[in-house]
Amino acid sequence: MNTPTTRHRDSRSSCALSVLLALLPLSMSAQTPVAPGEPVVQLDTYTVNATIGTYAEVESSGGSKTPMALQDLPKTVQVLNASFIKDLQAQSLDDLYPYVVGMTREASVAVGFTLRGFSNSIDDTLNNLQVDGLPGLASRFGSPTTANVERVEVIKGPTSVLYGLMQPGGIINIVTKQPQQKPSHSLFTSVNTYAGDAGTFGHGAEFAQNVGLITQLDSTGPLDAGKHWLYRFIGDYEHLNSFRSGWAQNYSFFPSLTYRVDDATDVTLTAEVTKQSRFSDSFLAIPFKTPSLHPNFGTVYQDPNSKEYDKGETYGLNFTHRFADNWVLKIQGRHVEHNDGKLAFENQNVTSVNSTGNTPPTLVDVQNSILVRRLRHQYNLRQYTFIDANAYGEFGPENFRHTLLLGVNGGYENSNFLRLAFLRSAPFNVNLYNPVFTVPAFPADPVPPTSRGITRQTNYGAYVSDQVKLGRHWRLSLAARHDRQDGTYDDAYTNPIQHRSRTDQAWVPSVGLMYQPTEHVSYYVSYAKSFVPPNATIVDANGSANFPPTVSNQVEVGVKADLMEHRLSTTISLYDIKRNNVAEPIPNGVSPIDGAQTFLLSGQEESKGIELSATYQPVKNWQLQAGYTYDDVRVTQSIDPTQLNARNSNAPRQQFNFWTRYNVPDGALRGFGAGLGVIYVGERHGAFSNDPTQWLDMGGYARLDSAFFYQWKRSTLALNITNALDRGYFSYIASITNVRSGDPRKITLSFTTPF
């Protein structure tokens, strides 16, 4: 039996740097001779600059939907800007998440994360991950690429008052790259592989199979002499491989066009075309609800031909007009056409053919653990259309200045989930530790299909907010919103046919007060609510879809400081969030009416915590960023005695992250730089339970990341080593049959050059 809990060093990994450097030819120093009589163009001398772009941001448009200084917002907002994304060489949002204060992963889907201890993947909630302030991603399974990302704004706590229906932990808003007046063109290429005990570094053909390649093109500039028409085109190709024998091949294109009517008016059209194919991996399974008995991190239970895919197209419209009296009108629209599918034997549950009933289980029990697999053939269609229109402006005297925002938004969501096959059979099963695939091919789909669930949801919202300056030292923030959602669910393949509908509406307030004794320090207290109606598929034991909406409220107090001409920025916040009317699935619960999964109200969950974050730039060539959170989130009221006082799953009490980069300012090593990152995630539970034998204790882990940079003329070469000490750890436990391990030591060599 092979059940390692730690990784050992591979002697071959010591040659990682030399092999990777050989993968990228650096032949750009060759000079082309000038033909006789050909005019010579004299270029300006280029000097290598040791200055590092700051990680600190002083303004956010997402926190209030108006451009506002972070010091003036009575809430916590963390911004990961272009400088930080570039230094980290983050190729997807997944690479950034460990450096978001108070965030963890909980599932492999794009919205599979927690903030302040609360899940955001419930019902694949759209609103907690947005693009330019509107929901709707082009892909569902994979984490979004950063190829089109200018910065990421993380707005903590309930934000329903501005963004609508969403979970209370917070929102991640992706701010995309826009067409620019100044021409700019660049090419980015990276190669990566794994160099840990669970990887295949130096293993000949296996090593070649686990090398990944990413290439990105970014071009922007004006199309006419008057610079009224601006364009941007970004292309992204990814050929990725996993240490778990997985693979992915992704294409994404991001064209955008801006027409500047004049200095006051502009309109931008955006699009995204994404096609992704990948190996369908259900990750690890663990026996007897004991994580320490997990198989080798590289164990794979899916046949090599298991596959899933994403295809998506998005179309966006952004209109802005600035009136002469400092008022601004903004209209945004986003439409998404998306389909995804899967054909795979996926993990379902774990049994033991030799179970003795002993506690703890015997060695024979563990060795003979069986993974029950089921065949899933799924085809899903999704359509999203969302619109947001608002106007904001300032009025009043300086000592009683108002920034008023008035807006309406809404959207339509349509999903069509066709389950072509959902079968399990004894021949599909494999040994948990040594899986052997004996089924030669996927069996034919049953006729008719298992189910076809069609969900339609229409959302309407109107909001108003007023940021009031009260004299020299006080600021008051007031906001309110009214939301309504109409939803239906139909399935024509069930017997009897399922049809459910519901309508929910609510008022959501928000209020904040700030005291600023100086222009550099702010103290604040705030209160905010969020509102999430369950969709029409959520029914109780009687088959009724009459659960009340989940309503959350947060009280937050904090202090912000912006010192040393923005070189030192800090935020300390304390919060208390209560989430009420939470519906959880009943184990083996089946509706007596139509056989649907049934749910119960678990009552109330509460998250209490403290967050600290800081960015500091001591000198122009040295930058630091750090964050810490302590969060206690648990079930405080429940009709299920096993859940009362249970901690939320995948929510550690303590987390810490740190990143720094230093560039050599002068001398023979000028042009060289180095970065160092530290990630610490405390102990987590993988299931809601107050019984230690049931809560799936993951334990904590620490991870070290490092990076090395060299700037040559205008080009940059970077070597990033993630999990440099090759620590073994769990990234998350979604269930006992969906346990994601962290990646082993990963080495990425990248090259960026303008042209």
What are the tens digits of pLDDT across the range 148-178? 999 999 999 999 999 999 999 999 999 999 9
Amino acid at 75: K
H-run or E-run covering 197: none
**All residues at 6 or more sequence positions from 478 whose CB lies less than 8 Å from its CB, including other chains:** 465, 466, 468, 510, 511
| Main-chain dihedrals φ then ψ at residue 680, nearest 5 degrees | -130, 130
CA distance 526 to 477: 9
CA distance 331 to 541: 44
pLDDT tens across 250-287, in order? Answer: 999 999 999 999 999 999 999 999 999 999 999 999 99
Residue 589: the pLDDT is 72
**All residues at 6 or more sequence positions from 622 whose CB lies less than 8 Å from its CB, including other chains:** 52, 660, 661, 662, 663
CA distance 332 to 638: 41
C-alpha dihedral over 12, 17, 22, 26, to 10 degrees? 180
At the topology level of CATH, where does 11-21+50-754 sit?
Maltoporin; Chain A (2.40.170)
Q: Note whether 294 and 284 are within 8 A (CB).
A: yes
Q: Is 494 exposed, middle or buried (0-12, 13-18, 19+ CB in 10 A)?
A: middle
Which residues of the chain register pLDDT less than 50? Answer: 1-35, 37-46, 200-205
Residue 6: the pLDDT is 39
Where exactly are the structural domains of the chain? Answer: 11-21+50-754
Q: Note whether 117 and 101 are within 8 A (CB).
A: no
CA distance 664 to 92: 28
Amino acid at 416: N
CB atoms near residue 90 (< 10 Å): 21
